[in-house]
Amino acid sequence: MTAMLEVTDLVVAYGKIQAVKGITFSVEEGQVVCLIGTNGAGKTTTLRTISGLLRPESGSITFEGERIDKVPAHKIVTLGLAHSPEGRRIFPRMTVEENLRLGAFSRTENTQKEDLEAAYELFPILAERRSQPAGTFSGGEQQMLAMGRAMMSRPRLLLLDEPSMGLSPLMMKKIMSTVRTLRSQGTTILLVEQNAQAALSLADHGYVLEVGKIVLHGTGKELLTSDEVRKAYLGEA
């Protein structure tokens, strides 16, 4: 039985500088898996390579048994893999609803109406603001929009990059509880976070990245209690 997503010996470089130096990990269907690590550890680079925005130097990426490391980004989303990028990257001069509709761009079946309803149910505040330009939103609202937009393509695997970045503790809680909701609704999630505490406490499995390499992995619980993680990422002496 192979995992839903398998990343094997992945190397990604910007010019001559390797940002990801041969990492191997997998995501089982139905799980929340997180990658944690400091700035520059290669987390975002890994996600951008999985979704096809970057090309790996070597190694392979397999999604549901199919190699996707040479598939262009706009086709990967049609396979059932959506990416909510770092910094939200919503389309600022479009309304909430236009942003969400673009999320469904890859859909061939016309399920947009019910998918919009589902997104609004997940984040009721988006429904209230459906015709406002998204650029005027707070960070938390933009994060909800970015996640709602990613869900519009009905992904089986959601890549979620730094959803808690710059959010208030309250908003962060809301986002993390949404991650739980999405998992319970059957979406597998690969989560990248700098906030190790929040990410590990809901992850089934976690990997710790340091300068492009995986230095540690285990279940969320194991990592939360491991000495190395506590010292390096949870700010304990």
Partner 1 sequence: MNDIPQQLVNGLTNGSLYALIAVGYTVVYGIVQLINFAHGEVFMIGAFGALSTWFLLFRDNTSVWVLPVMIAGAIAASVATAVIMERIAYRPLRHAPRLAPLITAIGISVFLQEFVRLFYGTIPGFPSAKSKIPFPAIDGVTGSPFHLGSVVIQRPALFTMGALLVCGLFLGWFINKTKQGRAMQAVSQDPDTARLMGIDVDRIIVIAFALGAALAAIAGVAQGLQNNNIDFKMGFMAGLKAFTAAVLGGIGNIQGAVVGGLTLGVAEALATVFVTGAWKDVFAFGLLILVLVFRPQGLLGARVVDRA
For the record, the structure tokens of 162 come out as: 């730094």
Q: How far is the CB of 220 from partner 1 (least distance, A)?
A: 27
Residue found under tokens 């809901």: 202
Q: Can you say whether residue 171 is alpha, beta or left, with left for phi > 0 and alpha for psi between -120 and 50 degrees?
A: alpha
Q: In what order do the strands lie in the sheet with 5-14?
A: 17-27, 5-14, 58-63, 66-67
Q: How far is the CB of 152 from partner 1 (least distance, A)?
A: 9
The rounded distance, in Å, linking the Cα atoms of 149 and 106 is: 12
**Binding of partner 1 by 92 (CB under 8 A):** yes
DSSP 3-state of 36: strand
The runs of H, that is alpha helices, within 7-138 are 43-50, 73-76, 96-103, 112-122, 124-128
Among 21, 101, 174, 217, binds partner 1 (CB under 8 A): 101
First to last CA, the chain: 41
Q: How far is the CB of 204 from partner 1 (least distance, A)?
A: 25
**Binding of partner 1 by 98 (CB under 8 A):** yes
Among 11, 13, 94, 118, binds partner 1 (CB under 8 A): 94
The rounded distance, in Å, linking the Cα atoms of 208 and 196 is: 9
The rounded distance, in Å, linking the Cα atoms of 6 and 103 is: 25
The rounded distance, in Å, linking the Cα atoms of 91 and 105 is: 14
**Binding of partner 1 by 85 (CB under 8 A):** yes
Q: Which stretch binds partner 1 (CB under 8 A): 19-27, 59-67, 71-79, 176-184?
A: 71-79
**Binding of partner 1 by 70 (CB under 8 A):** no
Q: How far is the CB of 226 from partner 1 (least distance, A)?
A: 34
Annotate each residue in 112-151 with x if it binds partner 1 (CB under 8 A) or - if it does not, as one string: -------------------------------------x--
Q: Which is nearer to partner 1, 49 or 226 (CB)?
A: 49
**Binding of partner 1 by 55 (CB under 8 A):** no
Contact residues for partner 1 (CB under 8 A)? 51-53, 72-75, 77-78, 82-83, 85, 89-94, 98, 101-103, 105-106, 149, 153
